Amino acid sequence: MSKKIEKITILPGINKFGKKENFKKINIKEGEIIAIVGNTGSGKSQLLYDIERLAQKDTKSKRRILVNNKIPDKELRFNPKRKLIASLAQSMNFLTDISVKNFLNLHLESRGKKSRQGLLEEVIEEANRITGEPISPKMNLLNLSGGQSRALMVSDVANISISPIILIDEIENAGIKKEEAIKTLVKEGKIILIVTHDPSLALNANKRIIIKNGGIVKILKTTLREKGIAHYLNWIEGYNLGIRKRVRQGEEIKNVEIYCEPIKMKNNK
Amino acid sequence: MKFIIFAGTPGSGKTSIIKYVIQELKDNFKLFYVKFDCLRTLDDKRIAKKYKIPAAKKLAGELCPDHYTALEIPKIIEENQDKDIIILETAGLCLRCSPYIKEGLGINILDITSGDPSRYGPILTDADIVSVSKGDLISQAEREIFRAKILKVNAKAKIVETNGLTGEGAIDIAEYIKLSSEIKSKKLTLKHSMPSAICGYCYGNRIIDEKKVQERYLAGKKLKNLVPNLNCGKCGFKSCNEFIREVLDGNAKKEQCPFIKTIPSR
């Protein structure tokens, strides 16, 4: 129903000291994943906020966000039913005392949508691909583990809060398969912006925006070499998770094998 | 003059978001901030110091905070004729009344973790703006459900998601304040009537006993007919009702009221 978003553009604002940001504009096209990196307190979340409210020089940073090269109209900015943006915050848990199935129905209802046959099952199935511990429709939201909650949130954002732009503030990786989560969110040419401290996620993105003292100081395109390094880091993480599983199961860990399978690149560039 | 009332349960993040709103407005408007609380607050001093704007506090003490607020509003307006915007913060404690006025702007700060919005009365249902705080603590889905539930009980509400830590949403509230209408006359009207409070307990009875409640009520009513009900404060108490309680408790003398009618001798 919502108009197609082909790209969003960030126009420069000012940093914490009132100095103008040193770039002309940043274009983000559909299908792109952008990582936002920088020290804690550097202003990463502010950038997400600017994008979330499609800032027009009216936030602290004085940045301006364009949609499809145009200044978005007020309706687009403030009417929640037309909101373009879904966000995954840092929170890990649900607070509503209700079953998973009823909760998903309630969410559909609040979006003014009707459930299509099999949709709820798909949402749960997709969540189960992200978490190792299966969720069933009858479970109570409050009883879900951290990993299950997180997985359900991701799947819900991907399938019910359908928005062309998704903002992620620090995806927690406890109990979920991070890569699988991102894959779930990315499909269908969405724009994803992710604030992260995790190098493997940052190097998996198409571009990364580096923030310092409240201002954007650099925009880097991920190089092929970096993608290789990201792959390696992911492998280490997977290896680490494997060991964790064995530790949890009570095994004695005798040695570590460091061997990383070479990256399998399809011939994209 | 614009008259803005911020109401919300304790801990919902009212003061935090108000600070950001003041920051947005203070350079272009003459502001006055007044905090209503029950027992203790330092917010008036903190805000006065930080933003260099005049501020005051009003402590309800033994009175119902909402009744007290409504009683004080005319005085606040009278004393601040030179201001552009008066910002009044109150806890709206019983959720039943919360004295929004028709001529001003009523903003409810609603903590998203505080449960089903249908539990709240006029503090939410009569608000012009609902500022949903702490949204970062819950999921996108729950935020959307919460929003839908607010609109079920207050279809006209403008909903703003706010964050008292980062100031998110404050500019939107400031914008709504700028667009709100001025108070034109001295005639102000409550959006919703206050709950009735007429029994012996209102006159300070403590013994849980039907007969004692009745006795205290009758004694209170008798005095109520003798005091001027102007809440002028000349007796040393905030209101005539508080004065009556103190008299009945033996802590004050009838004669402390300069306007008290003498009991006609039989």
Domains contained in chain A, number: 2
Examine residue A1 and state whether it is found in any structural domain, yes or no: no
- What integer pLDDT is reported at residue A2 of this predicted model? 47
Q: Same structural domain for residues A152 and A255?
A: no
Chain A residue whose CA is closest to B147: A110
Write the pLDDT tens digit of every residue in B90-142. Answer: 986 666 667 789 999 999 999 998 888 888 888 999 999 999 998 878 888 88
Domain boundary among A186, A206, A222: A222
Residues 6+ apart with CB under 8 A from B171: A58, A59, B24
Among A71-75, A80-84, B34-38, B259-263, whose mean pLDDT is lowest?
A80-84
Dig out the tokens for A26 from the structure.
């940043």
pLDDT, residue A1, reads: 38
Contact predicate A260/A235, CB 8 Å: yes
Same domain, A198 and A235: no
The verdict on a CB contact (< 8 Å) between B142 and A58 is no
A212 and A267 together in one domain: no
If asked whether residues A162 and A199 sit together in one domain, one would say yes
Looking at the structure, tell me whether residues A135 and A250 fall in a common domain. no
Q: Do A24 and A78 share a domain, yes or no?
A: yes
A-B contacts (CB, under 8 Å): 61
User: Residue A117 falls within a domain, yes or no?
Assistant: yes
Any domain includes A77 = yes
Contacts of B135 in chain A (CB under 8 A): 89
pLDDT at A173: 63
User: What ipTM was predicted for this assembly?
Assistant: 0.73
Q: Determine, yes or no, domain membership for A189.
A: yes
- Kindly report, residue by residue over B69-98, the tens digit of the pLDDT: 888 888 899 999 999 999 999 986 666 667
pLDDT of B242 strictly over 90: no
Pick from A44, A53, A125, A38: which is nearest to A85 by CA? A53
Q: Which domain holds residue A261?
A: 224-269
Does A240 share its domain with A137? no
B199: contact with A, CB 8 A cutoff: no
Asked whether residue A73 is domain-assigned, the answer is yes
Averaged over B180-208, what is the pLDDT? Answer: 84
Neighboring chain B residues of A156 at a CB cutoff of 8 Å: 139-141
Answer yes or no: is pLDDT of A81 > 70: no
Q: Pick from A222, A238, A255: which residue ends a domain?
A: A222
Q: A217 with A234, same domain?
A: no
pLDDT at position B95: 67
Which residues make beta-bridge pairs with A84? none
Q: Which of residues 149-168 of B touch A (CB under 8 A)?
A: 149, 159, 166-168
Is residue A104 situated within a structural domain? yes
Tell me the C-alpha distance between B228 and B261, whole Å.
Answer: 8
Of B136, B144, B145, the CB nearest to A90: B136
Domains of chain B: 2-179 (3.40.50.300), 200-256 (1.10.15)
Q: What is the pTM of this model?
A: 0.79
**Residue B146, both tokens:** 């919460």
Question: How many Cα atoms occupy the beta-carbon half-sphere of B112 within 13 Å?
Answer: 26
Please answer yes or no on whether A161 and B141 come within 8 Å at the CB atom: yes
**B159 has a pLDDT exceeding 70:** yes
Q: Do B140 and A49 touch (CB under 8 A)?
A: no
DSSP state of A249: T
Contact: A95, B142; criterion CB under 8 Å:
yes
Identify whether the C-beta of residue A15 lies closer than 8 Å to the C-beta of residue A8: no
On whether residue A51 sits in a domain, the answer given is: yes
Task: Among A75-79, A164-168, A229-233, name the one with the lowest average pLDDT.
Answer: A75-79
Measured between CB atoms, does A107 come within 8 Å of chain B?
yes
Largest Cα–Cα distance in chain B?
A: 73
Binary contact (A103, B137; C-beta < 8 A): no
Which residues of B fall within a CB distance of 8 Å from A160? Answer: 141
**Mean model confidence pLDDT for chain B:** 88
Residues of B within 8 A of A161 (CB-CB) are 140-141, 144
pLDDT value of position A154: 87
- Write out chain A residues lying below 8 Å of B142, CB-based: 94-96
Q: With bands split at pLDDT 50, 70 and 90, how would you rate the model's confidence at A269?
A: very low
Q: How far apart are CA B207 and CA A245, in angstroms?
A: 64
* Assigned domain for A192 exists: yes
Considering the domain architecture, whether residues A23 and A52 belong to the same structural domain is answered as yes
A49–B168 CB contact, under 8 Å:
yes
A122 and A67 in a common domain: yes
Pair (A245, A114) in one structural domain: no
Q: Are residues A15 and A78 in the same domain?
A: yes
**Which among B132, B140, B178 is the top mutation candidate for probing chain A, defined by the most A β-carbons within 10 Å of its own β-carbon?**
B140
CB A131 within 8 A of CB A147: yes
Secondary structure class of A207 (helix, strand, coil): strand
Query: Where residue A179 sits, what CATH number does that domain have?
Result: 3.40.50.300
Q: How far is CA B41 from each of CA B36, B38, B46, rounded to the nearest angstrom?
A: 9, 8, 10
Interface contact A58-B141, CB threshold 8 A: no
Please tell me if residue B177 touches chain A, with a CB cutoff of 8 Å: no
How confident is the model over A16-35, as a mean pLDDT?
A: 92
